[in-house]
């Protein structure tokens, strides 16, 4: 018998990563074909909450799980927020979002668990409520995240995000296609965020100017997306990538992948997320999607998905 269930999508940052930490806007979209799901069913009497993570083969008894285990942490936070003690429930978690690849797998699993527990408790929870709880878990792992990942994943819709402000929905005037490629290089966001911080402290004038230029690109991108002119996004991606390079968060591998996307027909490409590894995104069309995806794989991408935005 199912007591409750919840899901959340993967995500990609379109524009504005890193500058968003310093108060500039950013745009992010859900990747709806990748999903995390959680289902709550009754467990053995007296066992408390047990988390069954299908993808990693882990089975966690909550009362014995370490404090910093991400699945245990979100479950404890959600149970406390919902005013539940230790119900005898099994939470089964599964996800099609590749782990540690910058597509938001951790935040999506957390959001799915929060939603499933709220449903099992018969307490509806708003997207903002989910987002806030997931943010608490993100803080445990990433220090001081801007909040864009938990926001886009909890709202499951494109967002225009400014740190500390209520997120705004970004309407898609005309759908467009993105190729999202995984560089296959693990690069913790915490490290690149810290490096940018160090460089900003060393040369605040230069970095504030870089962030301002990113902010202007985000504004232009929002207008293009909402106004139904996604074809304008390609050159904006190229410019944003160049600014991320200047911040020091690209890498020779990412630059090579970006170049291969452009030379195989993408109208623009950039790294997406923390950088130095992780993902890049490229603007493609029905005509160019498969040649760009093949070129990216040939250039060393560990995986490529093509997704429709809008």
Task: Please pick, from the candidates 193, 236, 244, 266, the single residue that binds ligand PMV as defined by CB under 6 A.
Answer: 193
One residue of 9, 30, 129, 273 binding ligand PMV per CB under 6 A: 273
Cβ atoms 75, 82 nearer than 8 A:
no
Q: Which stretch binds ligand PMV (CB under 6 A): 223-231, 232-240, 273-281, 284-292?
A: 273-281
**Residue 139 tokens, joined:** 């803080």
Q: Which is nearer to ligand PMV, 22 or 176 (CB)?
A: 22
In the bound complex, which residue of the shown chain has the CB atom lying closest to ligand PMV? 273
The dihedral over CA atoms of 13, 15, 19, 25, expressed in degrees to the nearest 10, equals -100
* Cα distance between residue 194 and residue 230, in whole Å: 33
The C-alpha atoms of residue 245 and residue 146 are separated, in whole angstroms, by: 20
Of 86 and 144, the one with the shorter C-beta distance to ligand PMV is 144
Whether residue 26 contacts residue 65, with contact meaning beta carbons closer than 8 Å, is answered with: no
Mask for 131-170, x = binds ligand PMV (CB under 6 A): --------------xx-xx---------------------
Residue whose structure tokens are 């936070």: 77
Residue 142 CB, shortest distance to ligand PMV, in Å, is: 6
Q: Which DSSP category does 98 fall into?
A: P
Q: Kindly tell me the sign of the dihedral angle through the C-alpha atoms of 145, 162, 240, 174.
A: positive
Work out whether 274 is an interface residue with ligand PMV (CB under 6 A): yes
> Which of helix, strand or coil describes residue 185?
coil
Report the residue number, 39 or 257, with the smaller CB distance to ligand PMV.
257
64-123 residues near ligand PMV, rule: CB under 6 A: 102
Is the Cβ of residue 6 or residue 273 nearer to ligand PMV in the bound state? 273
């Amino acid at each position: 018998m199912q007591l409750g269930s919840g899901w959340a999508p993967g995500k990609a940052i379109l524009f504005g990563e890193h500058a968003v930490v310093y108060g500039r806007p950013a745009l992010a979209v859900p990747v709806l074909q990748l999903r995390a799901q959680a289902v709550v069913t009754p467990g053995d009497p007296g066992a408390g909450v047990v988390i069954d993570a299908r993808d990693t083969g882990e089975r966690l008894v909550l009362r014995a799980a370490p404090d910093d285990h991400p699945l245990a942490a979100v479950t404890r936070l959600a149970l406390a927020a919902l005013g539940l003690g230790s119900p005898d429930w099994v939470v089964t978690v599964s996800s099609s979002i590749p782990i540690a690849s910058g597509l938001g797998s951790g935040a999506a699993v957390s959001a799915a668990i929060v939603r499933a527990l709220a449903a099992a408790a018969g307490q509806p929870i708003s997207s903002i409520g989910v987002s806030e709880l997931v943010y608490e878990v993100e803080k445990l792992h990433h220090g001081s995240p801007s909040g864009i990942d938990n926001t886009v994943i909890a709202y499951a819709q494109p967002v225009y995000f400014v740190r500390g402000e209520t997120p705004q929905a970004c309407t898609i005037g005309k759908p467009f296609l993105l190729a999202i490629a995984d560089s296959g290089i693990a690069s913790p966001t915490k490290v690149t965020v810290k490096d940018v911080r160090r460089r900003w402290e060393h040369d605040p004038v230069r970095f504030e100017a870089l962030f301002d230029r990113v902010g202007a690109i985000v504004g232009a991108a929002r207008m293009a997306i909402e106004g139904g002119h996604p074809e304008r996004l390609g050159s904006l991606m190229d410019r944003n990538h160049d600014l991320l390079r200047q911040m020091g968060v690209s890498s020779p591998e990412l630059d090579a992948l970006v170049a291969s996307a452009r030379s195989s027909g993408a109208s623009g490409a950039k790294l997406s997320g923390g950088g130095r590894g992780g993902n890049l995104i490229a603007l493609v069309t029905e005509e160019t999607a498969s040649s760009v995806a093949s070129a990216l794989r040939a250039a060393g991408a560990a995986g490529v998905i093509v997704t429709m935005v809008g």
